[in-house]
Chain A
Amino acid sequence: NAGVTQTPKFRVLKTGQSMTLLCAQDMNHEYMYWYRQDPGMGLRLIHYSVGEGTTAKGEVPDGYNVSRLKKQNFLLGLESAAPSQTSVYFCASSSGAYNEQFFGPGTRLTVL
């Protein structure tokens, strides 16, 4: 079992460029999440999904879109990157509400 994997591990963008981060899990989990972590802070929820074909906004959703076309994958998109989106992005999954969340290794994104 690979658990939760994220692609890519690192990325540098110029302001205004777009990109998609891919999260994949092989634990057959229903719930998936995208968080961001800024320096010296804990993680904050961007968007989440409670099942295939569903998405919902978290605490800091502005500037991001997500899609969950397959149960095992959760995509995070930035349509027009801004320097304020420089951060480390973590994906997580769980088997349901109030169950343990398992995290991927993170993607370090820099927007110049």
Chain B
Amino acid sequence: GNSVTQMEGPVTLSEEAFLTINCTYTATGYPSLFWYVQYPGEGLQLLLKATKADDKGSNKGFEATYRKETTSFHLEKGSVQVSDSAVYFCARAGSGNTGKLIFGQGTTLQVKP
């Protein structure tokens, strides 16, 4: 089927630790891929995106590379901060330019000082 699977949380890290949140997808073709972040009390915000295979999206120190061979889009950050504590959602575009998104279940990240 068409789905997005991301690692279960919560993920708890100390400040300056390395972060990886795994995300894999199933799809027909090569849809655009996204990472969204939701800080407490706020709406989902687009963190980064990649629109084709081998593209690397990056923003605020976060990176994710569109890997068609492994159908993955893992989120990484070299050194997390307390302010990165949030819920992270991996998503892929639905078919056609409809605006529909197919999300993973979200991963809660908690960074401790």
| Interaction A to B | no
Interface of A with B (CB < 8 Å)? Answer: none
